[in-house]
Amino acid sequence: MPKPYSYDFLTKVIQAIAQGAVPEAIELDGLKKSEASELFNISRNTINLWLQRKAETGDVKALPNRPPGNNHKITDWERFRAFAKTYGDKTQVEMAQLWEGDISDRTISRGLKKIGFTRKKRPTATSNGMSQNGKSS
C-alpha cells in the first residue's frame, strides 16, 4: 500500500485551493483545482478526496493505515488457564463446546499454545533407542 502524502504537503495544497461557495474559486493563491493538480503533480480526484475528508473530519490529516485486528475470543487468560487445568483431559473439540460462547477448536489450540499447556507426560523428550551403527544399545 502506498505511503500517504505528508501533512505539510496536504496543507499546502488545501491552502492553494478554495473552499468557498464556488468550488473552483480561489481563496488564497488564486489557483483552480485543475491548476493546483498540475502544479503539485497530483490528480484532481485526490484533491477532491482531501476536501471531502476536511469537510467530514475538520482536518486533512491522513487516516491511520493499520489493518484491523482480529476479534480475540479469549481475553481473560487467568480464567482460561484454570479452564485448561480443569478440562485438560478433554479433546480440543470438547473444550470448545465447554467454553462459554462461540469458539472453535482451533482457537482453543492457539490459546493452549499461548499459555504453554501441553499434554506431554515428561518435560523432556525421550532419547532414541538406536545407536549410530544401527545396533541397539
State the average pLDDT over residues 31-59.
87
- DSSP-assigned letter for residue 131: -
Q: Delimit the domains of the chain by residue range.
A: 7-57, 77-115
Is 90 exceeded by the pLDDT of residue 81?
yes
| Of 26 and 16, the one with more pLDDT | 16
Contacts by 72-79, CB closer than 8 A, 24 or more apart: 73/101, 73/102, 73/103, 73/107, 74/103, 74/107, 74/111, 77/114, 77/115
- pTM confidence score: 0.43
| pLDDT tier for residue 92 given thresholds of 50, 70 and 90 | very high
